[in-house]
Amino acid sequence: MPSPHCVLFQAELEALLREDAPYGDLTVTALGIGGRSGRILFHSRDPMLVCGTEEAARLFELAGACAKLHAASGEVVEPQHQLLSAEGSVESLFRAWKVAQSLIESVSGVSTLARRIVQQAGAARVACTRKHMPGQKTMMVKAVEAGGACMHRLGLSESIMVTAEHRSFFLGDEFAVYLKALQATQPEKKIVVEVEDLASALTLVRQGCQVIQLEKFPVEEVAVVVAAAHSDAPVGQRPVIAVAGGIGPDNAADYAAAGADVLVTSSPYFAKPRDVQVRFES
């Protein structure tokens, strides 16, 4: 796992604060307490794999407070573990409070579930898709990696994956010709081909496909493709077998036991946020 640091640029963090309080905090201003001093403490209510505390600390600093990190991204904590504290004016603490809390809770949910799947996957690598809410890529990548998984595809520009939708534009055996051409023209990239039926997967094994992604295959058929990859692939060209579609903590171990090399999943992005307790002190 990379060493944890704040991955959002200052302008992105400032935009988060501006979105929540574009004209200041009306309640604090109306009460007339903004200039008083205070302290805010963040503790875990749930067991969690922490993520986002570095960004939360920067939010408080940008709001004008002094923040201290007590748990870094990637750290596994139990309930009532202190995560973060900040001191400053009441105005600065309230300005950053909810944005920071919501960020930690949300991305810690992603990282915690990613870790659960990784723990079930054994020797198989867990790769998370780009099927997250648009605009959240930077924090989703951080959360996925904090949980011990990796990214499947960062986007359309840096990887090649041929889907059934792409292949619908080819006739007969025409795609086999294009597959060889792809491998020749993109020598630094592995070509991933997604398939939805067993016959197509076995054909790709024999054609020397580099990575075969099995979409919504039952475990039994995954085992058949893995066996074929060891026996029927051209010499020295055993494909990487990835499985996708409905992969989560409840079935990751089964697909790993069937011999899959990579488990492709979107489920961490839909994880329940972890609960963070916040307490103010005057």
219-231 vs 198-207: helix crossing angle, rounded to 10: 20
Query: What residues contact residue 36 under an 8 Å CB cut-off, 6+ apart?
Result: 89, 90, 282
Outline where DSSP puts E strands in the chain: 37-44, 48-49, 66-69, 76-77, 82-89, 125-128, 150-151, 160-162, 191-195, 211-215, 240-244, 262-265, 276-281
Mean pLDDT of the 260-277 span: 98
Q: How much is the pTM?
A: 0.93
Candidates 3.30.360.10, 2.60.40.2140, 3.90.1170.20, 1.50.10.10; CATH matching 10-115+271-281? 3.90.1170.20
Locate CATH 3.20.20.70 in the chain.
119-270
CATH 3.90.1170.20 maps onto the chain at 10-115+271-281
Mean pLDDT of 215-241: 95
Confidence category of residue 153, pLDDT binned at 50, 70, 90: very high
**pLDDT score at 21:** 96
Distance CA 41, CA 17 (A): 19
Architecture of domain 119-270 in this structure: Alpha-Beta Barrel (3.20)
For the stretch 132-141, pLDDT in tens is 999 999 999 9
By DSSP bridging, strand 191-195 and strand 160-162 are parallel
